[in-house]
């Protein structure tokens, strides 16, 4: 298995500002993902974080709004840019590694006022 940590665990931000969320995995993983889970909803994939290259975004998500970095096999960041109240959500980092299924970080609970 893998242990995934995220920072911050929660934040309250003003509209128009940006927040960067960090994700750290305790072992090398093949794939890392960022998901969003809005209140009462299931998970929606934002993008696949690719090591050393641009992330692969799902329909409805763009790099200018959600820039993602993955400088190595165990670390990734997601930035939520120019935030609005509609961005209030839980953001979850996830990873797949050799020999284990897909695991999730504890999530970052974002509230935009």
Query: Which uninterrupted H or E stretch holds 6?
Result: strand 4-7
In the complex with other proteins, which residue's Cβ is closer, 61 or 104? Answer: 104
**Considering only 19-27, 38-46, 60-68, 75-83, which stretch makes contact with other proteins by CB under 8 A?**
38-46
Residue 97 interacts with other proteins (CB under 8 A)? Answer: no
In the complex with other proteins, which residue's Cβ is closer, 83 or 92? Answer: 92
Q: Which of 31, 67, 69, 75 lies at the binding interface for other proteins (CB under 8 A)? A: 31
Q: Which of 23, 92, 95, 110 lies at the binding interface for other proteins (CB under 8 A)? A: 92
Nearest distance in Å: CB 59, other proteins: 12
Q: Which of 22, 27, 45, 61 lies at the binding interface for other proteins (CB under 8 A)? A: 45
Round to whole Å and give the CA distance between 17 and 57: 22
Q: Nearest to residue 91, comparing CAs of 36, 44, 42?
A: 36
Q: Do 96 and 2 form a contact (C-beta atoms < 8 A)?
A: no
- Look up residue 58 and give its two tokens: 């799902």
Can you say whether the dihedral through the CA atoms of 72, 30, 98, 24 is positive or negative? positive
Residue 69 interacts with other proteins (CB under 8 A)? Answer: no
Q: Is 99 exposed, middle or buried (0-12, 13-18, 19+ CB in 10 A)?
A: exposed
Interface residue list for other proteins (CB under 8 A):
31, 33, 41-45, 48, 92, 96, 101-107
């Amino acid at each position: 298995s893998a242990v995934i940590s995220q920072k911050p665990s929660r934040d309250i931000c003003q509209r128009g500002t940006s927040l960067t969320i960090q994700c750290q995995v305790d072992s090398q993983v093949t794939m890392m993902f960022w998901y969003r889970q809005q209140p009462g909803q299931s998970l929606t994939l934002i993008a696949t974080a690719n090591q050393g290259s641009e992330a692969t975004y799902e329909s409805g998500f763009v790099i200018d709004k959600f820039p993602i970095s993955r400088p190595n096999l165990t670390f990734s960041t997601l930035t939520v840019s120019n935030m609005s109240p509609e961005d209030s959500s839980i953001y979850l980092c996830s990873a797949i590694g050799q020999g284990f299924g897909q695991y999730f970080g504890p999530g970052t609970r974002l509230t935009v006022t």
